[in-house]
């Protein structure tokens, strides 16, 4: 499991003369067999072979054959054996597509996308009695808590309890006292949700329960937490952790598709109005160099050569004889998009890798929302 801090460290990896091999392998058993993935890997290694990375390809092959347990759904490897650089991450979510790339730095774009979609999020399952709280990161359960409020008992006529435990109904039935206790329990569950979410610096929230309980809990949450809600669903209060995870991942993925489409429209509209948006490579790289980018959007797989000033690090898509800002020497770089992505992250901006969006492709494959 990879953290945001580790991603930042990979983004800060210094460019050297020693190549780095970046491997992303989809090993989801729901899609293809292990033998199928091994065959795909052999094909990638064969296609990528060149003498300067022979050590890396050999190390990758040995690791997968003798050390990897095939227990995850995605595998990410970075290797530069001559400088003793090796990172291996087994993921509980599948990578978008298998790929092997060679460059002077680790290729982090697919990891940025995975963390953006499946990074730290919370799930709260609530009813009249209490709540179960979960935090997940990249498809793995990190932590759980359970909040139980005052017990609610439905009484038979004559005073006998209708069952030995608390009622977990989501409805409004029962006595006035029962309704008051249920309402207080839900308020306490909302407070517990706020504390759970904020103490762990989570990004997104999902709420589960009956329609009525979900609506009530949403109203009790503060505005900033309501804005973090990406979806709701119905599930039994006693559901297994894995069932909660699978339902949550489906909703998170759907919510991300909607969010990406809205983000693309926002950027393109802002660019058309000449306000706080830019599209296409040259304008976007210019905004990155000026430190103005709040959110960078890039079509998955979009690459473009560019040029970088060796003195002030200005980047552009145009071939220049000298830097227009400092007069320094400008050299060609194979992928200006990957460099722009790293630069935005270093500046504290956000990056969204957009999958299969004709609208963004038609706008040049890249764009940004600007701070000013």
- Let me know if 161 is exposed, middle or buried by CB neighbors in 10 A (0-12, 13-18, 19+): exposed
Lookup: tokens for 269:
């509209």
Mean pLDDT per block of 10 residues along the chain (372 residues) reads 89 88 95 90 95 97 93 95 96 92 93 93 94 96 90 46 40 72 93 95 94 95 96 94 96 94 97 96 96 96 93 93 94 93 93 94 97 92
Q: Return the HEC string of the chain.
A: CCCHHHHHHHHCCCCCCCCEEEEEEECCCCCCCHHHHHHHHHHHHHHHCCHHHHHHHHHHHHHHHHCCCCCCCEEEEEEEHHHCEEEEEEECCCCCCCEEEEECCCCCHHHHHHHHHHCCEEEEEECCCEEEEEEEECCEEEEEEEEECCCCCCECCCCCECCCCCCCCCCCCCCHHHHHHHHHHHHHHHHHHHHHHHHCCCCEEEEECCHHHHHHHHHHCCHHHHCCEEEEECCCCCCCHHHHHHHHHHHHHHHHHHHHHHHHHHHHHHHHHCCCEEECHHHHHHHHHCCCEEEEEEECCCCCCEEEECCCCCEECCCCCCCCCCCCCEEEECCHHHHHHHHHHHCCCEEEEECCCHHHHHCCCEEEEECC
- What pLDDT, on a 0 to 100 scale, did the predictor assign at position 159? 40
Rounded to two decimals, the pTM is: 0.83
CATH of domain 259-370: 3.30.1330.30
For residue 153, the model assigns a pLDDT of 57
Q: Which fold has domain 119-239?
A: Nucleotidyltransferase; domain 5 (3.30.420)
The residues, any chain, with a CB within 8 Å of residue 13's CB and separated by 6 or more, are 20, 85, 105, 106
């Amino acid at each position: 499991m990879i953290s945001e801090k580790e991603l930042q460290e990979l983004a800060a990896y210094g460019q050297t003369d020693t190549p780095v091999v970046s491997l992303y392998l989809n090993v989801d058993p729901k899609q293809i067999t292990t033998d199928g993935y091994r065959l795909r890997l052999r094909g990638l290694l064969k296609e990528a072979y060149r003498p300067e990375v022979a050590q890396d390809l050999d190390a990758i092959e040995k690791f997968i054959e003798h050390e990897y347990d095939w227990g995850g759904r995605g595998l990410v490897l970075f290797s530069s054996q001559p400088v003793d650089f090796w990172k291996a991450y087994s993921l509980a979510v599948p990578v978008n597509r298998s790929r092997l790339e060679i460059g002077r730095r680790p290729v982090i774009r697919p990891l940025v996308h995975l963390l953006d979609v499946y990074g730290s999020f919370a799930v709260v399952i609530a009813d009249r009695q209490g709540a179960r709280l979960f935090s997940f990161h990249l498809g793995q359960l990190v932590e759980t808590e359970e909040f139980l409020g005052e017990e609610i008992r439905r009484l038979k006529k004559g005073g006998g309890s209708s069952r030995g435990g608390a009622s977990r109904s989501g409805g409004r039935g029962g006595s006035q006292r029962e309704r008051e206790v249920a309402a207080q329990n839900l308020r306490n569950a909302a407070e517990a949700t706020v504390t759970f979410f904020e103490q762990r610096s989570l990004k997104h929230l999902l709420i589960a329960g009956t329609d009525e309980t979900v609506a009530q809990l949403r109203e009790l949450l503060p505005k900033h937490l309501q804005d973090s809600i990406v979806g709701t669903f119905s599930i039994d209060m006693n559901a297994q952790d894995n069932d909660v995870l699978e339902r949550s991942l489906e909703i998170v993925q759907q919510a991300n598709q909607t969010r990406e489409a809205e983000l693309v429209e926002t950027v393109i509209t802002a660019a058309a109005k000449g306000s706080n948006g830019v599209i296409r490579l040259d304008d976007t790289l210019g905004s990155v160099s000026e430190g103005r980018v709040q959110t960078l959007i890039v079509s998955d797989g979009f690459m473009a050569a560019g040029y970088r000033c060796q003195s002030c690090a200005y980047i552009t898509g145009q071939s220049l004889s000298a830097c227009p800002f400092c007069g320094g020497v400008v050299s060609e770089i194979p992928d200006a998009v990957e460099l722009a992505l790293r630069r935005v992250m270093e500046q504290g901006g956000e990056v969204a890798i957009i999958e299969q969006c004709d609208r963004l492709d038609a706008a040049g494959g890249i764009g940004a929302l600007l701070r000013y």
